[in-house]
A and B are shown apart, each in its own frame.
Chain A
Amino acid sequence: MDDSAVRAPDLSGRQAAWVREIETLSEQTLLACYQCGRCSAGCPMVDEMDLLPNQVIRLVQLGMKSVLDSQAAWVCAACLTCHARCPKGIDLPRVMEAIRILAVRAGGARLLAGDMPAQELAEAPPMAVIGALRKAGG
């Protein structure tokens, strides 16, 4: 289906600009999502999330910035399972990353090495520490 034929929700100018910002950062067409839920069904971290992955994408489609306060993007491990299985080919981990970037820019959550649990900082392999800092450090 031609996704450009999908009618966009009637958003205010500021909301629409914010949705475009996420689409630009993530390079994904958000209206391609028809809420089948397969991303949430296969997500290994879904039990830890306050919003399901498909709900995250729905809120973004609707321009609801409250999604920036959700834990979901910070619990996403970027394992790419949802992307592999999305029937519309949406790369949801890139949407999660765009949300993290905008949340950091908005002055909210930003992971610093000193915020990590001391035991994990001392014991976890560098690939985990560096990976976490680069994903969540902004």
Chain B
Amino acid sequence: MASRTYAYFPGCTLRSHAHEYERQALAAGQALGIDLVELPEWNCCGATFPLNAENVMDLIAPARVLIAGGKAGGDLVTLCAVCFHVLRRTANFLQTHPFALERLNAFVEEGPYDGQLRPRHLLEVVRDDLGWAEIRQRVTQPQAGVRLAAYYGCMLLRPGPEIGLDDPEQPSVLENLIEAVGAQATSFSHSSECCGSYLAATQPGAVERASLRVVEAARAGGAAAVITACPLCKYNLEQAQREQPEESRLPVAYFTQLLTIAFGVDAPESAPWIVGAPA
């Protein structure tokens, strides 16, 4: 199998809270011939895309990541949904706003940035560069009978025309991945509802209520676990359930774990959707 190499940006949360996301992604990538090569130097992407006309200073952090990606050559790939969102929107903005690009390049000594990169999410690499047939071919442990809720949250999907990863109201990439490993995607009314996002740091009560609505909707659809691509969604959905007895919590897992389990890289008994599945 031909190996594909991509420049890889981990981001801050994968190196502090979401270690398993990275480990699973690298391991699943290895099984698929996807080689994720970490950028030699990187910084936090800024964790939010500025939503105002005076945004150039706020774009410096993500632009530095884009510059590092450009130097590495080839496609720049991320795992974190928020990093992906911030980097893709920054790239879009700088590509279409030459004056802002010029101002930014005056600030950033690592540059200049040429405005040409289009950062990608690993889900796009799996879907578009490999395809579902290739995923199905790799599966040695089909997850037959497992019912899973595909949870997108906000940053992977919106704004739809600009992010362009999937249909913002009727997405399918996570469902297709769930089905490619032999599991079943459940009907899930809250698949693109926000969990409360970064308000976790300031208004945990509000985030808990929003996240519990997501969890309850997934449970109502009969899911044995929620599948996500976002470390903050995972944190918020788990935090919201922390007061519940462990056996009644709905597990939240990264899509990469579906791959490592289905490829036989990780032991079947490590899958939270078997352990935590309702009887």
Q: Which A residues contact B (CB, under 8 angstroms)?
A: 24-27, 44-45, 47-48, 74-75, 77-81, 83-84, 91, 93-94, 96-98, 101, 111, 115-117, 119-121, 124-136
Contacts and interface: CB of A to CB of B under 8 A. Distances in A.
CB-CB nearest 10 A-B residue pairs: A131-B198, A79-B194, A80-B158, A79-B154, A132-B201, A131-B47, A130-B47, A125-B17, A97-B51, A77-B197
Interface residues of B, number: 45
A78 B46 contact: no
B201 A134 contact: no
Interface stretch (B66-74, B204-212, B260-268): B204-212
B154 A127 contact: no
B199 interface: yes
Interface in B228-266: 231-232, 235
B48 A78 contact: yes
Contacts of A77: 154, 194, 196-199, 210
A117 B58 contact: no
Given A84-B169, A125-B235, A134-B58, A91 B154 contact: no
Interface stretch (B8-16, B104-112, B119-127): B8-16
B53 interface: yes
Contacts of A48: 203, 206, 209
B157 to A, nearest CB: 8
Given A26-B53, A77-B198, A130 B44 contact: yes
A116 B168 CA distance: 32
Contacts of A96: 51
B16 A126 contact: yes
Given A124-B235, A130-B12, 13 more contacts: A24-B53, A44-B194, A48-B206, A77-B154, A77-B196, A119-B204, A125-B18, A127-B11, A127-B13, A127-B232, A128-B200, A130-B198, A136-B202
A93 B268 CA distance: 43
A120 B201 contact: yes
B193 interface: yes
A135 to B, nearest CB: 6
Contacts of B54: 25, 101
Chain A residues touching B, majority SS: helix
Interface in B36-90: 44, 46-48, 50-54, 58, 80, 82-83
A94 B52 contact: yes
A5 B198 CA distance: 39
B159 A135 contact: no
29 contacts: A26-B51, A44-B213, A45-B196, A45-B206, A74-B202, A75-B199, A75-B203, A77-B154, A79-B197, A84-B160, A91-B159, A94-B51, A97-B51, A98-B52, A101-B52, A101-B54, A115-B202, A116-B201, A125-B17, A125-B235, A126-B12, A126-B13, A126-B16, A127-B80, A128-B199, A129-B201, A131-B197, A131-B201, A135-B48
A121 B199 CA distance: 11
Contacts of B193: 44, 81
B51 A91 contact: yes
B165 to A, nearest CB: 13
Contacts of B48: 78, 130-131, 134-135
Contacts of B44: 126, 130
Contacts of B198: 77, 127-132, 135
Contacts of A81: 154, 158, 192-194
Contacts of A129: 198, 201
B82 A127 contact: yes
B46 A27 contact: no
Specify which of A26, A84, A98, A126 lies most central, judged by the most chain B CB atoms within 10 Å of its CB.
Answer: A126
